[in-house]
Structure formats: C-alpha cells, structure tokens
Chains A and B, each alone.
Chain A
Amino acid sequence: MEEDVKQSLIKQFNLPEETIRIPRPRRIFLEISREKFKEVFDFSVKELKFAILLTITGLDEQERFGVIYHLARETGAILNIKTSIPRDNPTLKTITPDFSNADIYERELMDLFGIKVEGLPPGNRYPLSDHWPNDQYPLRKDWKQEGVTFEQPREKQDVSEKSGGDQNA
C-alpha cells in the first residue's frame, strides 16, 4: 500500500526515488521543493486521500527552515510532506482554506520560529503570551533565554513587604 502511494507520487510528479522513504508500514516521508509543494500537497490530499491533518512541525535547519505537514488517511497511514523555506525570508502560504484546524499549527510556526504564514485570518497568537517581545523565537537553534527581557507585570515590592514570609527571587 505504501509502495503504491510512492509510485503514484513518482509517476505524477516525476520525482527521484530517493525523495520518498518508507521506513516501516504506514509511514511515508517525502521531501519536496517549495515550488512543487502546493501541487504535491493538493494531490496527496485530494487524490491519495491523505485528508486528515495531524499537525505541522517546524525545524531549524540553519540556512533554511524545514516544515513538515503530517497527513493521515482513514486506514492509518501517515504521509509526512516536508518542504523548506529560506531563513532570511521565511514565508509560507496558509493551508487553512483546506484545513481549518491548521490555524493553530501555523500560529505555532509563527510564534516559535518567526515563520510568516500568509493568508491567516485575524486571531490570537499561540502559544506565547503577550509578555513575549516580538522578535524572540524560542525554537530557533540560536535563541538564548538570557537575551530576553519580559514585560514586567507590576511592581512586586508591595507583595513581599506586606507578608514578610519566605521570599526567593
């Protein structure tokens, strides 16, 4: 079954064999260029019936960001389509027209990697809170905790003076 999926993709898009891996039953991994991504994605969802979006994973791969779309079929197989975008211009188009649940996974890419997802309807950020300064992307490999100044909620002197209990900064 996985082999059939592989052959369909190879045939349809003239892909080299090495771009598609089947490490074990029900798991297929595919790497595709950004230019070919949309058509491969649409084909996989509509023709090959990988119509369940599990999640979207971002990866910091130095000069580029990898983005993996994990798609499943009713019968249990998962097709993992990976594409990559340049670090100095990390933009993606939203897939929310096809998968409304992609919203939250795409916002995660924005908050944690600084990837710009175009076409998302207005909404709340996820998962970082408003305390986070705008240019901090924690899941980037070069991000360090020490460099961050959080917006302070309020003065804390009142609290410690009043109660005189154990206080540890």
Chain B
Amino acid sequence: MRKPDIFKVPIGPQHPALKEPESFSVALAGEKIMGVDIRLGYNHRGIEKACEERTYIQDIYLIERICGICSHTHATCFVQAVEEIAGLEVPKRALYLRTLIGELERVHSHLLWLGVAGHEIGFDTLLMYTWRDREIVMDILAALTGNRVNYGMNTLGGVRRDITPEQAREVLKAIDKLEEQTKYYIELALGEATLAARLSGVGMLSREDCVKLGAVGPTARASGVDRDVRRDDPYAAYAEISFNVITDNHNDVFGRTVVRLKELMESYGIVRQLLKNLPDGPIAIKAPRKIPAGEAVSRYEAPRGEDVHYVKANGTEKPERVKVRAPTLANIQAVKKMLENRYLADMPIVIAAIDPCFSCTDRMINVRDAESKNNRLMEWETLRRQGIEHYRRLGIDFSKVKIRGHS
C-alpha cells in the first residue's frame, strides 16, 4: 500500500499557533485501523517531585489524588512501603479496615466501569442503572470515611477511623442489595444477545501478547493470565481471606466485562469475611515523623490492576524518592495491539475496557485516512457517536434493550 500523503485539516476556528495535544493518532484504511500511536503524559502533573518536597503525611493526601477512582489504592500502596521501611507493625484491625475500604473501592470502581462501558457503546440505560446501584456503596463509603471519594482513611501506622457495629450492619445490608443487582447484571451480560454481539471479538489480546506487553488486572485475567497481587503477594489482610481469582478465556472486551462482574461477587464475599472476623484492638500505632534510611517496594491490586510504589527514605521527614507505576500505564501499551485491524468504531469501547485511569474522553484523536489522504482531528464524543451509529447499522441497537429495575 502506498504511503498516504499527509496534510492537516484542522476543524473549528483557525488558530495555527495553537497546538492540540493529540493523545491518539490513528492510521485508517477505509474503516479499519492499520496502526495506532498513543501519546501519553496528558495528565502529568509532577507528583513524584512534589512528594520529595512534602512530608510523608502530606504525601499521603497528594498520592491519594493521583487517581480519584482508586485513591485508596494509591494511598495504601504508599503507606505500606513507608511502614515497611520504618519497621512499623500495623495493628490487625487497621489492616482489616484498610482491606474493607479497598474492596468497597473495587465495588464502586467496577460498577462505575460498567456504566462507562455502557455509555461508550450507546447503552445509556446501563449507565443510569449501574450508577444508581453504585450510589449504595458511595453512601457506605461516605458514612465510614466522611467522604464519597478520596477517603483519607490511611495514616502511617494504620487507619484514621474505626467502624461501629451499626455501621458494619449497614455495610452488610448494602452488600446484600448490591449482590442481588450484580447477579442480574451477570445474567444480562451472559444472556442479552445484543451485549454479547457488541462486545465479543472486540479488542482481542492473546494470552501470549498479554504477558509480552505486560498487561495487568482484569484486562490480563480476561486473557487467561492468572495473576492477582492479593493472592500472589498478599498485603493488608488478604493472607487471611479466602477468595477466588477470576480468569476468563474470551481474550476480548466481553471477557473483561465478565471478569469484572464476577470480581464484584468475590468482593462481596471478602467484605463479609472481613466484618465477620474483624479483630479487636487499636486502629493505628504511632509512627515517627522522620523515617529511617531504607527502601521498599509495595504492590496493590487496584480495580484496574497492579499498582507498584517504590519509596526511598533518607532519615528525614521527607522521602528521598517516590516512584509510582499505576496500572493503566501497564495496560495502555496493549491497546495498540487490541486495535490492530479493528474498526474505528471499536476504539471507544476497547480503550474503555482497560478501565483507563485518565479522562480519555477529553482528548483529541488524529485520524489519518489512506484513501482521502487527509488528517482530521476528532473529538472523542464524535468518535463515540460514530461508533454507536456504525453498530446500529449492523443491527446492534441498545435502545431496544430493557433493564429490569429493582425495589
């Protein structure tokens, strides 16, 4: 195929001086994607450097905000590393409470994902219903921690808030309700033909490619990669909890959906165990302000996959170095492979299916067309709508799909 001439046709008001930060550059032949170039760093803020300039306690609040969806993930991963360097023995009750918030975070995150996935494929009813269910867990998190998001639950040496028996009962009631709804969503995923048709065969990633490209979390597990930090490198209370690691062999977006749904069921079981066996005792031990020289690597199974933090201490109250490898960074490299030979219409859901920890919907996409030989800059929203329209013409129409409500 002859290499297409490339010239830019900007859309909107003409401002040649303005540079658009395109995150995705796609080469098309007809409707098919021949190649994808991904430019990352759009939400790079400079957090690692800022960590060196703040105290450990201040850093907990900064690191919590690396990502608002899995904020407890980052905060916990960080304090675990610092606690290890300082040789702190965190009380068991604190570990259980950390784990409880972590699993509730997984529940909110997976339900959020389900809604977002629905939105990307034009199934907005699913968004409304899953996000309504998600409010159940948001209320619980707000009651337990004081905030719907960014819980501020961790401190060095433990957690900052305890749970009362009444709150524990409320959590269990909420879990019962959510479990009932999740069972229905699983039925929907496995039984609703439109959903299966839309998601099957999309975003394929073989087990081999998964491993080679370093994918993590539900994205990897949906391709049969049996890895989960909670089981392989237990942290917090996981060594004392029994649960299943969910894998699937569809290797596609459908598989990633099924894995997340079944993980929700596992989370409900973990929460019940945590509350049933919650140890008595203090919720924190006192931590020194200055952390002795040392280093540690901490891992955490975020809803999206493995989060890795490296911390180096130098005997002062500020860290020498903090390195964060968030799960999305591990997964984004697999996206190129997933989009090869797929339709442009698949791009929104394939990217959404790795559950990216960025607001990709605000990024511009540069589409280079081999036939018309021009570049066009597309907004995500336009891409999403075109994708939905593409599949509607193929008979996949979610406006016809009904969702059963709940009491």
Mark out the residues of chain A between 14 and 70 whose CB falls within 8 Å of any chain B CB in the assembled complex. Answer: 23-24, 26-27, 29, 52-55, 57, 59, 68, 70
Q: CA–CA, A94 to B100, complex, Å?
A: 41
List the interface of chain B (C-beta within 8 A of A). Answer: 15, 17-19, 21, 37-42, 44, 46, 48-49, 84, 212-214, 227, 229, 232-234, 294-297, 299, 306, 308, 310, 312, 320-321, 323, 325, 329-330, 333
| Closest Cβ–Cβ distance, residue B86 to chain A (whole Å) | 12
Q: Are A104 and B17 in contact (CB under 8 A)?
A: no
| Closest Cβ–Cβ distance, residue B311 to chain A (whole Å) | 10
Q: Chain A contact residues (Cβ within 8 angstroms of B): what range?
A: 35 or more
Whether, in the assembled complex, A75 has its beta carbon less than 8 Å from a beta carbon of chain B, the answer is: yes
A103's nearest neighbour on chain B, judged by CB, is B333
Q: Are B19 and A74 in contact (CB under 8 A)?
A: no
Whether, in the assembled complex, A167 has its beta carbon less than 8 Å from a beta carbon of chain B, the answer is: no
Given known A-B contacts A130-B19, A139-B48, A154-B18, A76 and B297 have beta carbons under 8 A apart:
no
Across the interface, which residues of A come within 8 angstroms of B17, CB to CB?
A: 153-154
Whether, in the assembled complex, A5 has its beta carbon less than 8 Å from a beta carbon of chain B, the answer is: no
Q: CA–CA, A142 to B213, complex, Å?
A: 35
Across the interface, which residues of A come within 8 angstroms of B308, CB to CB?
A: 54-55, 70
Q: CA–CA, A24 to B38, complex, Å?
A: 38
Mark out the residues of chain A between 61 and 94 whose CB falls within 8 Å of any chain B CB in the assembled complex. Answer: 68, 70, 72, 74-78, 80
Q: CA–CA, A132 to B323, complex, Å?
A: 21
Across the interface, which residues of A come within 8 angstroms of B306, CB to CB?
A: 54
Question: Which of B15, B212, B297 touches A70 (beta carbons < 8 Å)?
Answer: B297
| Closest Cβ–Cβ distance, residue B249 to chain A (whole Å) | 18
Q: Are A70 and B310 in contact (CB under 8 A)?
A: yes
| Closest Cβ–Cβ distance, residue B273 to chain A (whole Å) | 21
List the interface of chain A (C-beta within 8 A of B). Answer: 23-24, 26-27, 29, 52-55, 57, 59, 68, 70, 72, 74-78, 80, 99-101, 103-105, 112, 124-130, 138-139, 153-154
Question: Which of A24, A70, A126 touches B41 (beta carbons < 8 Å)?
Answer: A126
Q: Are A100 and B333 in contact (CB under 8 A)?
A: yes
Interchain residue pairs A-B with the least CB separation, the first 4: A101-B214, A127-B41, A55-B325, A76-B233
Q: Are A153 and B310 in contact (CB under 8 A)?
A: no
Q: CA–CA, A154 to B13, complex, Å?
A: 14
Q: Are A101 and B213 in contact (CB under 8 A)?
A: yes
Q: Are B321 and A59 in contact (CB under 8 A)?
A: yes
Given known A-B contacts A57-B323, A153-B17, A127 and B297 have beta carbons under 8 A apart:
no
Q: CA–CA, A153 to B21, complex, Å?
A: 11
Across the interface, which residues of A come within 8 angstroms of B297, CB to CB?
A: 27, 54, 70, 78, 80
| Closest Cβ–Cβ distance, residue B216 to chain A (whole Å) | 9
Q: 14 A-B pairs, CB-CB below 8 angstroms? A: A23-B294, A26-B233, A55-B323, A59-B312, A78-B299, A99-B214, A100-B213, A101-B330, A124-B39, A127-B40, A129-B42, A139-B48, A153-B17, A153-B18
Question: Which of A23, A104, A154 touches B296 (beta carbons < 8 Å)?
Answer: A23
Q: CA–CA, A168 to B15, complex, Å?
A: 24
